[in-house]
Structure 1
């Protein structure tokens, strides 16, 4: 609102001072639009740079050659390698199979394995329904572990409550005040706190640096060290199966 007021006032002053027949308004907006477009391009370039760094690091871990490869193609190669590796661990034959179909087969095998661990009856259930049953059971167990009440909550409401509780607990562990703050605000503060913890662990100077500048420095100049030390944003997270298997709503 304040920015809109400033822009409106500035435009009004330009128009008042402009001689008849001139087009200062269009020039003003043209310059503003060009500046905004330039900033958007810089932001997109930054995101692409981060994406490339992350995917190249993952590729190297998997023993994949990265030299001269397009980031998108490299990402595909990484995904295929991970799927085939998981298939091998689950004793699934990969010979001659389409990678998308193999990915579905791997996911279903992981779900069936988890269903067995949870004691869920699999008889007559298609892969989607079984995945939903597994996720719901894991969600309920997580809610019970966290002390989240399940009374009168549907799965979507329970998921929201669980995630909010996890965020709140993480904030408290980091010494962040949680009173009066919603989950989004707490996530932002958690991000900032972890960012500075990583900077301190890497002995980086933080004076006069914005959070964006600090994050950029960590990713572009110290990613390998941060990953080796399992620092944010490379830290290990417990319960990866739980978080990576959110299922779609059935029609």
Structure 2
């Protein structure tokens, strides 16, 4: 029986087509085998705030990859999207795919991406274990982001700093959108940011928003205004060039 894949839960430090920590994220190089053999998407996941968005994002990526979505269970579709993205990334990186499992390719793609980023950041590569190098790259990226936000990294553990950066980014974006942040946790703010962006996109596309909720509008955007929204780089097709993923690859899990 084919083993299920799962989408590693990553901490994403910006919003857009990516998803916040705790939500499934389809990201080439960040996919692995579930240690317990659990499915990627279970009933508990479906009840989480923002799940509608993850479902829509999986469908969007399926469309981008030319994968048929009609009548497919979301988990099946997510697996197909993940496999296609991994293979596409492997091809782009000139990684041989024949005879390799998706997990093996994911590991190679992830390491290749880490190598590229390490070179960009001026981090020494030679003779380093992939896990050690990945950790150095993630830490360097996090400190760079913290510095840009005016957050002091000195003396802070990775997880502590990562949380602080994430919270600051979420609050900054909420404030830019005119959302009141007082007394709200990050999950609530993320949900409100997504809602505000969905309504903004709908209005720019000339969609009647009266008596419609964010789920309905989001579905309408990707179903009836896909190309236009993409052309205008409206949510959820915003420019992703500055996005930074700070989750650890599955091979680093203990």
Q: Please report the TM-score for the alignment, with normalisation by the length of structure 1.
A: 0.67
CA distance in 1, matches of 2:168, 2:96: 41
1:62 CA drift (Å):
2.7
Task: Name whichever structure is richer in helix by fraction.
Answer: 1
CA distance in 2, matches of 1:81, 1:215: 24
CA distance in 1, matches of 2:226, 2:204: 13
1:94 CA drift (Å):
1.8
| Corresponding position: 1:99 with 2:78 | no
Select the structure of larger CA radius of gyration: 1
- Once the two structures are superposed, residues 162-191 of structure 1 have per-residue CA deviations (whole angstroms, 9 ceiling, x without a partner) of 111111221222233445544334323322
Once the two structures are overlaid, the 10-residue window that deviates more, 56-65 or 197-206, is: 56-65
1:124 CA drift (Å):
3.8
| Match in the other structure for 1:122 | 125
The two structures, once aligned, show a CA RMSD in angstroms of 3.3
Q: 8 Å contact 1:132–1:247 — kept in the other structure? A: no
| Match in the other structure for 1:84 | 87
Task: Give 1:118-197 correspondences, 5 Å limit.
Answer: 118-179=121-182, 181-197=184-200
Number of equivalences: 207
Q: 8 Å contact 2:118–2:137 — kept in the other structure? A: yes
CA distance in 2, matches of 1:84, 1:229: 28
Q: 8 Å contact 1:52–1:71 — kept in the other structure? A: yes
Structure 2 gaps of 5+ residues are: 1-42
Q: 1:122 to 1:170 in 2, by over 3 A?
A: same
Q: 1:72 to 1:224 in 2, by over 3 A?
A: farther
The structure showing larger relative contact order (alpha-carbon pairs under 8 Å, at least 6 residues apart) is: 2
Task: Give 1:1-251 correspondences, 5 Å limit.
Answer: 54-64=57-67, 72-179=75-182, 181-240=184-243, 242-243=244-245, 245-247=247-249, 251=254
CA distance in 1, matches of 2:193, 2:53: 20
